[in-house]
A and B are shown apart, each in its own frame.
Chain A
Amino acid sequence: QQQVKQSPQSLIVQKGGISIINCAYENTAFDYFPWYQQFPGKGPALLIAIRPDVSEKKEGRFTISFNKSAKQFSLHIMDSQPGDSATYFCSFPKGPGGGNKLTFGTGTQLKVEL
C-alpha cells in the first residue's frame, strides 16, 4: 500500500506570492505523478503531471519539481491568485496494469488573500 505524505495541510498566501506544496512517497513503482485541483462542491480536476524521467515541468504559473532520490515532488504556484484558492492533491496512479486507479495525498487547502 502506497503511503503518501502531503504538506502543509493548509496554506495562506498573499496575492502575487508563491505557493509551495510538497508530497513524499514510499513506493517508486510509478511512472506518472499528477496533481489534482478541487474547488468546493466539485470533483477533482487534473492540474499538471510529470513523468519521473523529468526533473521539472512548467505549465503557465504551475510548476512541478521532482526529486527522485528523495522520493518527493513539489507543486509551485507562481504569482498566486485568489482564483487559485482550492484544495490540491498529489496522486499516484497504479499504471495501466492496475487500471490507473489513483492513490491521493491528504490534500492541501490553499487560500490566496488579496
Chain B
Amino acid sequence: GAGVSQTPSNKVTEKGKYVELRCDPISGHTALYWYRQSLGQGPEFLIYFQGTGAADDSGLPNDRFFAVRPEGSVSTLKIQRTERGDSAVYLCASSVAPGQTYEQYFGPGTRLTVT
C-alpha cells in the first residue's frame, strides 16, 4: 500500500518568505508527527497530532512554526518569516493510534533550504 508522502521533496526559499510543507499519512493512521532533521543529526520532534488536534506541540521552536490537520488526515507545516537556520529536512511520520503500536512510518522528507 501507499506509504507516507510529502510534498514538495525540495523547497528553496528566500529568507523572510512563508512556506508550507504537506504530509499525506498512511490511510487510517490517526497519529501524525512532524520532525526536523539537520545534517548529521537525528530527527527532532516538532509536533504530534492525534486526529485533528495537536496533542503535543512542545517541539516547535518558536511562534513562526505552525501546523494543522483540519480533517484528521493531511497535515501542513507552516513556517513564517523563514530564517537560514530553518534549513533542514522536515520529516513526517504516521502511526496507528498510540497504545496500539510504537512503530512510526516516515515519509521521505522535504528538504528546505533558506537562502
Chosen A-B contacts, 28 in total, with CB atoms closer than 8 Å, are A6-B42, A34-B102, A41-B108, A42-B109, A43-B91, A43-B93, A43-B107, A44-B43, A45-B106, A46-B103, A46-B104, A49-B102, A89-B43, A95-B98, A99-B48, A99-B50, A99-B56, A100-B95, A100-B102, A100-B104, A101-B33, A101-B45, A102-B45, A104-B43, A104-B44, A105-B42, A106-B42, A107-B42
- Evaluate contact between A96 and B42: CB separation under 8 angstroms: no
Residue of A nearest to B55 (CB): A99
Interface: A62 (CB within 8 A): no
A49 CA / B50 CA spacing, docked (Å): 23
Which residues of B lie under 8 Å from residue A98 when comparing CB positions?
56, 98
Q: Which A residues are within 8 Å of any B CB, using their own CB?
A: 6, 32, 34, 41-46, 49, 89, 91, 93, 95-107
Chain A residues, Cβ within 8 Å of B43: 44, 89, 102, 104
Expressed in whole angstroms, the minimum distance between the Cβ of B100 and any Cβ of chain A is: 8
A44 is contacted by which of B31, B59, B106 (Cβ under 8 Å)?
B106
Contact flags B25-58 to A (C-beta < 8 A → 1, else 0)? 0000001010100001111110010100001100
Interface size of B in residues (CB-CB distance below 8 Å): 28
Query: Residue B4 at the A interface, CB < 8 A?
Result: yes
Is B61 engaged at the interface, CB distance under 8 Å to the other chain? no
Against A, the Cβ 8 Å flags (1 = close, 0 = not) of B88-115 are 0001010100110011111111000000
What B residues does A96 contact at CB under 8 A?
Answer: 98-99
Residues of B within 8 A of A106 (CB): 40-42
Q: A34-B103, A106-B42, A107-B41 are in contact. Are A101 and B109 (CB under 8 A)?
A: no
Cα distance A88–B45 when bound, in Å?
17
